[in-house]
Structure 1
Amino acid sequence: MKRFTAFISALALSLIAAPEALAAEQPKVIRIGVATVGTGNRPVFGGAVTSLVNVKGLLEQEFRAEGIKVEWNFFKGAGPAVNEAIANKLLDFAWQGDLPAIIGKAGGLNTKLLLADGTRGTAYVAVPADSPARTLEELKGKKVALFKGTNGQLVAAKVLDQRGLSERDFKSINMDGATTQAAIATKDVDAAWFGYDVYPLVDRGIARIVYSTRGQPANLSRQTHFLVTGDFEQRYPHIVQRVVNTLVREAAWASDDRNREQVLQQWAKSGVPYTAFKQDYEGTPLKVRLSPLFDDFFTTHYKDAVALSKKYRLIRGEVDVDSWLEPKYQREAVRQLKLDGYWAEFDAKGGVKKPASLASYQAP
């Protein structure tokens, strides 16, 4: 009888303590890394759903009731700097490009990709406006700026390879985005690789575009994603689901063409002008560029990126893309938000495999 009474007492205590134990499993802070910074180092960026979630404070709203702080960290050093922060256990989530994430994974970083966020980005090569160069071939032997270790490096390698060229044909100089813009303006370099940040220079008559991946095969585009560290995902899967739900909900809103102008205006808060985003995204549905899905195009691109990273000796270790992707959270978010069929699914070459069946998003 005494043993039975002791058992009941212990059970009662465990039930009383359970809510406290569950509460203890909530993180005090959610730390998010972003592989870029806004103009003048402002903590705002553009070109992604994550940037909209940041500028609107949506994750802060989601976790305010529990007192969970959301901490945003912006890295001028882009993807490589994000990798260093993950290695030092300073981040829980991150937005970055394909190549730096692949380099990190191959180097042993414990991460899981949660969703696509900013796919099919255009790459540009620009020269000073008065340069006589008109083609990539005319830049052979010239000083060309490239932010190495970023998704731009992988695109550059593929473009050059396609044209029978390589980085060795140029005097390649590693520069971050802000330094590159200044170097083009002062003519300290003969050319540079850019993303949408090329347009402010073009619009001011400082630079001229001599090459663009616009209209080229989809595999020559730049890809970015949102990931979680393995440790955080294992300890707080319920938090991961809520983060992904927030991102997918905002992706649905941003993908609706009725909201296009609002999206571009929000991105312009980064300091990159509205006109730059308008030109870069011209003729491209946001529903394509902002789809969070791991479709055949996304998966194949990352597998090819791993293979090419090994070919170009950017990595040594192996990366199993299939096990690296963790689609269960985005699938559950799509189910909860009733978004099945909202985004088209694309085949390995970027063509439509399964058309979208929902024309617009209705918030539940």
Structure 2
Amino acid sequence: MKKLLNAVVRRAALLALASTLALPALAQSGKDLRIGYQKGASLLVLQKAQGSIEKKLAPLGVGVKWVEFPAGPQLLEGLNVGSVDVGFTGEAPPIFAQAAGARFYYIGNEPAAPRAEAIVVPKDSAIRSVAELKGRKVALNKGSNVHYLLVKLLEKHGLKVSDITPVYLPPADARAAFESKAVDAWAIWDPYTAAAEKQIGARVLADATGVASNHQFYLAERGYADRNPQVIRALFADSVEKGEWLKAHPRQAAEQIAPLQGLPVDVVEVSLRRSEFGVKPLTPAVTAQQQRIADTFTELRLIPKPISVREAAWQEPQ
């Protein structure tokens, strides 16, 4: 009995210690908006460069902490485990995350930008059509927006994913494999596409025009959005303002974004001109498009169960 009592006391002490250690993290989460971003997310990178979100949130007593991720799937994992409060990513990562049980909301989206993602091949490649990818190695970031693009482009040309050899790599590793010709093609998004075109002469085999919308989505961890709707509204307002400024001043925006992306200004400007800006709340049409992607992944058994995208759409408190 004494041993049992001692064990209970020790367990209670450990739980109390764990709670105490967790307090700074909870306080930090309440004080700062932790934004998950990718270097390729040009609008967020511009906002980071200008400090505009910090200025917008200052009257609310909220600071900003920026957390960089290599791609969307990793960002969604960060959102799921609570290391970030909001994030920005393409179409496919939220679907994989929702199917895995992640708790987040879609809080907005940018307009469709089908020219901002593509499959590229080396400049001296003999491959001239998507149909010729049969039996070839194609690099892509698994679970990213180009995952859906690759599926649909192959389907359009009478192929299945099983007809190629997918090589799952994050952008930096995929670029290295592409340059060394360890892969035959690369499914990738801007600004990486523009960089490959400008720097090593990569040739666009096909972009998403007529195949995929390529929406970009703003996401928020559910608990954070429910507790802090005023922060979400302020972030949304700043994104609208800066999106309008970027559209009107692409060269100036590229000059500010380029140092943070580590790319030449002309590369960044090309990628900006192929993108679309003007964040809006999710509409039924965009939700339906996202649902079609989810249903495709279900049919291909890329996700373990069907999901309802509509259930993850944020309903702003009145």
Q: TM-score, normalised by structure 2?
A: 0.81
Instruction: Name 2:98's counterpart in structure 1.
Output: 105
- How far apart, in 1, do the equivalents of 2:243 and 2:95 lie? 24
Displacement of 1:111: 0.8
Change in CA separation of 1:324 and 1:46 when aligned onto 2, cut-off 3 Å: closer
SS of 1:27's equivalent? helix
Instruction: Name 1:279's counterpart in structure 2.
Output: 270
Tell me which moved more, 316-325 or 129-138: 316-325
Instruction: Name 1:250's counterpart in structure 2.
Output: 242
Structure 2 residue corresponding to 1:263, chosen from 229, 253, 258: 253
Change in CA separation of 1:297 and 1:267 when aligned onto 2, cut-off 3 Å: farther
| Cα displacement string for residues 46-71 of structure 1 (whole angstroms, at most 9, x for unaligned residues) | 43x33322221112122335553211
Percent same amino acid at aligned positions? 24
Displacement of 1:301: 1.5
Instruction: Name 1:304's counterpart in structure 2.
Output: 292
Instruction: Name 1:200's counterpart in structure 2.
Output: 195
Letter in 1 for 2:256: Q
- How far apart, in 1, do the equivalents of 2:272 and 2:50 lie? 21
Displacement of 1:192: 1.0
Letter in 2 for 1:290: G
Residue 87 in structure 1 maps to residue 80 in structure 2:
yes
The answer to whether the 8 Å contact 2:240/2:278 transfers is: no
Instruction: Name 1:96's counterpart in structure 2.
Output: 89
Displacement of 1:225: 0.8
The answer to whether the 8 Å contact 1:126/1:211 transfers is: yes
- How far apart, in 2, do the equivalents of 1:118 and 1:182 lie? 31
Tell me which moved more, 196-205 or 55-64: 196-205
The answer to whether the 8 Å contact 1:100/1:150 transfers is: yes
SS of 2:30's equivalent? coil
The answer to whether the 8 Å contact 1:264/1:278 transfers is: yes
| Cα displacement string for residues 170-215 of structure 1 (whole angstroms, at most 9, x for unaligned residues) | 12111111111122211121111122212322223442222223xx
Instruction: Name 1:55's counterpart in structure 2.
Output: 49
Change in CA separation of 1:203 and 1:90 when aligned onto 2, cut-off 3 Å: closer
Displacement of 1:292: 2.5
Structure 2 residue corresponding to 1:33, chosen from 33, 36, 52: 36
Instruction: Name 1:210's counterpart in structure 2.
Output: 205
Instruction: Name 1:349's counterpart in structure 2.
Output: none
- How far apart, in 1, do the equivalents of 2:269 and 2:54 lie? 28
- How far apart, in 1, do the equivalents of 2:195 and 2:103 lie? 37
The answer to whether the 8 Å contact 1:184/1:207 transfers is: no
Instruction: Name 2:223's counterpart in structure 1.
Output: 231
Structure 2 residue corresponding to 1:191, chosen from 185, 196, 200: 185
Letter in 2 for 1:211: A
Change in CA separation of 1:183 and 1:263 when aligned onto 2, cut-off 3 Å: same
- Which structure 2 residues correspond to residues 92-241 of structure 1 after superposition, within 5 A? 92-117=85-110, 119-122=112-115, 123-196=117-190, 197-213=192-208, 216-217=209-210, 219-241=211-233
SS of 1:164's equivalent? coil
| Cα displacement string for residues 12-57 of structure 1 (whole angstroms, at most 9, x for unaligned residues) | xxxxxxxxxxxx9x921111112x33xxxxxxx443x333222211
- Count of matched residue pairs: 289
Runs in 1 of length 4+ with deviation above 6 angstroms? none
SS of 2:126's equivalent? coil
Displacement of 1:72: 0.8
Unaligned stretches of 5+ residues in structure 1: 1-23, 38-44, 333-364
Instruction: Name 2:305's counterpart in structure 1.
Output: 317
The answer to whether the 8 Å contact 1:113/1:324 transfers is: yes
Q: What is the alpha-carbon root mean square deviation over aligned residues?
A: 2.6
Tell me which moved more, 273-282 or 219-228: 273-282
- Flag the structure with higher helix content: 2
Instruction: Name 1:16's counterpart in structure 2.
Output: none
Letter in 2 for 1:306: A
Structure possessing the higher radius of gyration over alpha carbons: 1
Letter in 2 for 1:32: I
The answer to whether the 8 Å contact 1:251/1:292 transfers is: no
- How far apart, in 2, do the equivalents of 1:200 and 1:238 lie? 37
